[in-house]
Copies of this chain bind each other. A is one copy, B any other.
Amino acid sequence: MIRVGILGASGYMGGEALRVLLRHPEAKVEWATSRTEQKAEMIHRNLYGAGIEFIKQEKTTPVDVVFAALPGGHIMKEAPALLEKGTRVIDLGSDFRLKNVEKWGEVYGKEHASPSLVAEAVYGIPELHRQTMRDTRVVANPGCFSSAAILGLAPLLKNRMVDHHKLVVDGLSGTAGAGAETDTSVHHPEIGNNIVSYNVVGHRHTHEMEQELGYVAGESVSIHFTSHYVPITRGILAVCHGFLNSPASREELLDVFRDFYRDEYFVRIYDLPKDPDAAWQHRPYPWVNAVSGTNFCHIGLDVDEERGRVVVFSVLDSVGKGGALAGIQNMNLLFGLEEKSGLDFFGLHPY
């Protein structure tokens, strides 16, 4: 059994890691920390009766791997000591995501404490970095929007099918994306029947998208990204618009996506036929509620042949494939387990 620790388990991200790791057949949660010592179920009522007590970070014991769900800037300082003890680190936060340390400093407003680890860290999308990830000690788990947009756009950029400087992405997020701390913009009376646009230019995830998609494209790309909260609790839809370099049909592009993700279990191409006469359920675009609570990403698309635009729909759960569960997939990789170990369950219908 892999011995696991969770740093910062009282938030939504750490709580989701805890939920799934408690039932992982090959891992054992040794401890989970929070600022105040208390029963996990005081915060995560879904775990009522599970008997988990949060401890303070000072009391942690050695483990094989740590999931870090801490506020920005902490794990970059603590990782070196952990690695020294032989503990691998999966950072669910943003400390190791940007390879360019100066850019990181600008974006996050502080100097990086462990630049050498940035170089070593692998950006945690196994669909792009599986080989290098197997041997790393530090995984930089992606931002939730980044995961959705990168998975949704990678096949197009790999195949140079779209204008790579005019990619427009509207990211729609459930309010869990705002975290467990209360804020008026996700206060129910304000957002219960509303849409709240935020970080409409300059969202930090933009840099991750550009880094990773630039890597895929083999040249620099520009992502024009805007984010919005909608009144759903979990999940993300990234609506990705690209201008086609040359005409292509929906079916041709679906082929490109099916090919790109041919051997991937967790990324599914939503390729139902488009039948205007069929009932609602034949609308061939993915639904975010189908992947909530799971490690799946569903990707669908359509093409405006008249105007030369492709629109890709990429849905995932911000704490699932866009967060903690992708982290568990990465852990499985790091430790040579089957990639879907502990993660092979379905979402709910209805959700």
Contacts and interface: CB of A to CB of B under 8 A. Distances in A.
B309 A193 contact: no
Contacts of A288: 194-195
Contact of A189 (B180, B270, B280, B304): B180
Given A49-B268, A302-B201, A349-B12, A344 B285 contact: no
Given A45-B290, A195-B172, A231 B188 contact: yes
Contacts of A280: 183-185
Give the copy number.
4
A239 interface: yes
B183 A46 contact: no
A222 B241 CA distance: 14
A291 B49 CA distance: 12
Given A12-B350, A50-B346, A280-B184, A194 B224 contact: no
Contacts of A183: 182, 280
Interface string A235-271: 1010101010000000000000000000000001010
A289 B230 CA distance: 12
B166 A298 contact: no
A324 to B, nearest CB: 12
A232 B192 contact: yes
A193 B289 contact: yes
A198 B185 CA distance: 23
A170 interface: yes
Contacts of A46: 289-291, 294, 346-349, 351
Given A194-B288, A280-B185, A290-B48, A311 B226 contact: yes
A103 to B, nearest CB: 12
Task: Identify the interface centre among A174, A185, A222, A224: most chain B CB within 10 Å of its CB.
Answer: A224
Given A183-B280, A189-B186, A293-B348, A195 B232 contact: yes
Contact of A224 (B48, B190, B289, B309): B309
Nearest to A184: B280
Contacts of A281: 42-43, 45, 184
B184 A279 contact: yes
A347 to B, nearest CB: 4
A242 to B, nearest CB: 10
A272 interface: yes
Interface string A109-133: 0000000000000000000000000
Nearest to A350: B189
A233 B351 contact: yes
A239 B351 contact: no
A313 B195 CA distance: 11
6 contacts: A43-B281, A43-B349, A172-B195, A192-B192, A200-B285, A230-B231
Interface of A: 12, 15-16, 19, 22-23, 42-50, 166, 168, 170, 172, 174-176, 178, 180, 182-198, 200-202, 222, 224, 226, 228, 230-235, 237, 239, 241, 243, 268, 270, 272, 279-283, 285-294, 296, 298, 302-304, 306-307, 309, 311, 313, 344-351
Given A19-B349, A46-B349, A189-B234, 13 more contacts: A43-B349, A45-B281, A45-B290, A46-B291, A175-B189, A175-B192, A187-B188, A188-B188, A190-B350, A195-B237, A197-B313, A200-B313, A202-B304
